[in-house]
A and B are shown apart, each in its own frame.
Chain A
Amino acid sequence: MTSELTPTPDLTPTPGQTVGPFFGTALPYAGGTDLVGPHHPRAIRLHGTVFDGAGAVVPDALLEIWQPDEEGSVTTEPGSLRRDGWTFTGFGRTQVDGVGHYTFTTVDPGATEPGRAPFVAMTVFARGLMNRLFTRCYLPEDTVALAADPLLASLPEDRRATLVARRETDGGLRFDVRLQGDAETVFLAYPRHARH
């Protein structure tokens, strides 16, 4: 009996499981929040709070973001885990703080194609959340592109609003995540995800 006999694998996706409470010593890393340095001329703060269905803050969530650069180019540069302070890798990861708040330092994502609504892709993990959730954080400015966006157009007005960040006076973006409730964030399933 050796491991050389490899049976045809079952290609049903492996089930996900909750990230649990103890990811903090493994997944967050120094520089995880800083897609650009704070002195980048167009650095902005992307921040918000994660809430549960009772409106209480979720203090043990982990968020990841993945975005194109300001020109809308998708980078293939490594270095997200060991940042050199200069290379834009497009990826960020952070644990929320004790009051459920997260902060990334980044730049506005550009449109990946002319006329498309720019957004930051986000995944949400938390103790108590059985599987990761996907969502999008859209920039609020290009109202024509937002109106034409296929995902946003497929949503009723009130649900659409949960995916659009608010621009703050200092240029930052505010994007809260509500796991449950009336203003529940729209979470996404992609075509190749299992139905359940």
Chain B
Amino acid sequence: MGVDADAATSTQDEICAEMAALRAGYERRGSDTEPETQPRLDYPPYRSSLLRHPTKDLHHADPETIELEAPVFGQRDVGALEADLTIQQGGEPLGERMIVTGRVLDGDGRPVRRQLVEIWQANAAGRYIHQRDQHPAPIDPNFTGSGRCLTGEDGSYLFTTIKPGPYPWKNHRNAWRPAHIHFSLFGTDFTQRMVTQMYFPGDPLFALDPIYQSILEPAARDRLVAAYDHGVTRPEWCTGYRWDVVLTGSHATWTEPDDGGVA
């Protein structure tokens, strides 16, 4: 490639041209090929991926006993207050208080019950508390940006937090990430483990961001964007967003189709 994986040498225009070329290639694919609903592991506009993506195809494996189960988390693991990121420190964090809520479903539409959801995010100014974050925006001493909860019997989760700000990164010159919250999720199979990012509606940075654009199917990409929900918004208190997550299907009650047609 001749591109340094971690040097911010490209311009935004160059990154946008690379992304447009990949998008055009995707749109020219045969009508018999399935939509790409997961990110491409090999997506050069995200420079750090150049040396970190497998070059060989993922190898098909039928799940074994251990992979058909998942770690169990309980109330011993997660305190009830860990879902409220606005009360973890001595005082109240600055920014737009909001609720993010939704349901975690498996690939058959069943709620994922009593399972761990973890989040982390930048503060309202776009700064992580992480020491590697060098963005010269203020740290909020009242905001760690990390939370956890267990889903309910209906698969629902709810966090109270602060709306994160966008932040710069060094992928290319003047690179900015759209505002997002990182989510980590477990299912009932270890094969359902996933980490993703939730975005906010209408972010002007979507078109410029190679992490968001690494999902080539537009409808799949859109599913990472939460919806503003006035039914979640609380009067005189905070705004509300709704975002549901669908994990891959559980294999527990699944049998291989006769034609072996599932890759």
Contacts and interface: CB of A to CB of B under 8 A. Distances in A.
Partners in one complex: yes
Interface of A: 1-4, 9-27, 52-54, 56, 58, 64, 66-68, 74-82, 89-91, 109, 112-113, 116, 119, 121, 123, 125-134, 136, 150-151, 154-155, 159, 179-181, 184-196
Contact of B39 (A16, A180, A188): A16
Given A1-B230, A76-B72, A154-B59, A25 B196 contact: no
Nearest to B116: A81
Interface in B211-263: 211-212, 214-215, 220-221, 223-224, 229-232, 242, 244-251, 254, 256, 262-263
A9 B195 contact: no
Q: Is the contact region of chain B dominated by helix, strand, or loop, or is it mixed?
A: loop
Contacts, number: 277
B52 A179 contact: yes
B251 A17 contact: no
B62 A150 contact: yes
A128 B256 CA distance: 33
B224 A14 contact: yes
A160 B197 CA distance: 33
B193 to A, nearest CB: 5
A192 B107 contact: yes
A66 B190 contact: yes
Shortest Cβ-Cβ A-B pairs, 5 listed: A128-B48, A78-B74, A26-B120, A3-B231, A192-B249
B194 interface: yes
Contacts of A12: 37, 220, 223, 246
A4 B229 CA distance: 11
A28 to B, nearest CB: 11
Interface of B: 5, 34-41, 43, 46, 48-56, 58-67, 69-78, 105, 107-109, 116, 118-120, 122, 128-130, 132-133, 144-146, 148, 182, 184, 190-191, 193-197, 211-212, 214-215, 220-221, 223-224, 229-232, 242, 244-251, 254, 256, 262-263
A12 to B, nearest CB: 5
Given A80-B71, A130-B40, A130-B46, A184 B54 contact: yes
